[in-house]
Amino acid sequence: DQQVKQNSPSLSVQEGRISILNCDYTNSMFDYFLWYKKYPAEGPTFLISISSIKDKNEDGRFTVFLNKSAKHLSLHIVPSQPGDSAVYFCAAPRRTANAGGTSYGKLTFGQGTILTVHP
Amino acid sequence: EPEVTQTPSHQVTQMGQEVILRCVPISNHLYFYWYRQILGQKVEFLVSFYNNEISEKSEIFDDQFSVERPDGSNFTLKIRSTKLEDSAMYFCASCRTWGTNEQYFGPGTRLTVT
């Protein structure tokens, strides 16, 4: 299942610099995207999301950009901190339409990118 | 802050044995999920559960798998006859409503089948 792809397995960044993590998707039905962060021996932690009606969503040091025409999203972390070192996953929920409106179900994850922020 | 909990953190079992993985979702959440991650691979969806029934399941979730919400707090995943390839991290997740999809994950159970 390659509907969500993170082509960079790892990224190394100096503390204080910008980290840019990329994600591509192939399923044009996806209209909502999430980024999760995962530390070793822990479960994924929700970080930030974006709906396809937006091209940018910002939360503190974290900004997600969505380019629908390119089917590409990216997560920017500025400034990067050593505590940001983790695996980052992008994910897209499957959208379904029902009597109550649109709802979202299972998440399809990318392979993950290991971010290392050096002091 | 409320969180999803899972027990045990690590389970070792022999091939062919039954295992039950336990999860306590966040208390006011209504939608529950199991995912797994085989070492070096993606996090994969197994099953979603709502209103005491399965909403959706993947092709991985065959007859050897079952889920149950035996009481108001626990959510369990049972594997009836484990295979070597079932060795993975199993994550439980829960979501408050169906309309948003901020699923909150537990810390996972590492299942090792020998």
**Is-contact B77 B6, C-beta < 8 A?**
no
Distance, CA of A17 to chain centre: 19
Judged against a pLDDT cut of 80, whether residue B101 lies above it is answered with no
Give the separation between CA B23 and CA B7, rounded to whole angstroms. Answer: 6
Q: How far is A70 from chain B (nearest CA, A)?
A: 23
Tens of pLDDT, residue by residue over A48-78, are 999 999 999 999 999 999 999 999 999 999 9
Question: Which chain B positions have a beta carbon within 8 Å of A102's beta carbon?
Answer: 99
Judged against a pLDDT cut of 70, whether residue A97 lies above it is answered with no
The answer to whether the CB atoms of B43 and A1 lie below 8 A apart is: no
A115 CB-near residues (< 8 Å, 6+ apart): A10, A11, A12, A13, A19, A21, A77, A80, A84, A85, A86, A87, A88
CA distances from A118 to A13, A15, A86, B17 (A): 6, 5, 12, 44
Q: Mark A34-45 as b/e (b = at least 16 C-beta within 10 Å).
A: bbbbbeeeebbe
Q: Does B4 touch chain A (CB under 8 A)?
A: yes
Interface test with B, best of A87, A95, A106, A111 (most B CBs within 10 A): A106
Tens of pLDDT, residue by residue over B41-98, are 899 999 999 888 898 899 999 999 999 998 878 999 999 999 999 999 999 999 887 6
B111 CB-near residues (< 8 Å, 6+ apart): B11, B13, B19, B21, B79, B82, B86, B87, B88, B89, B90
Q: What is the mean pLDDT of residues A14-36?
A: 94
Smallest Cβ–Cβ distance between B107 and the set A36, A43, A108 belongs to: A43
The answer to whether the CB atoms of B99 and A1 lie below 8 A apart is: no
Chain A: residue nearest B57 by CA?
Answer: A106
| Residue linked to tokens 């209209």 | A31
Smallest Cβ–Cβ distance between B107 and the set A32, A42, A105 belongs to: A42
Question: Which chain A positions have a beta carbon within 8 Å of B6's beta carbon?
Answer: 43
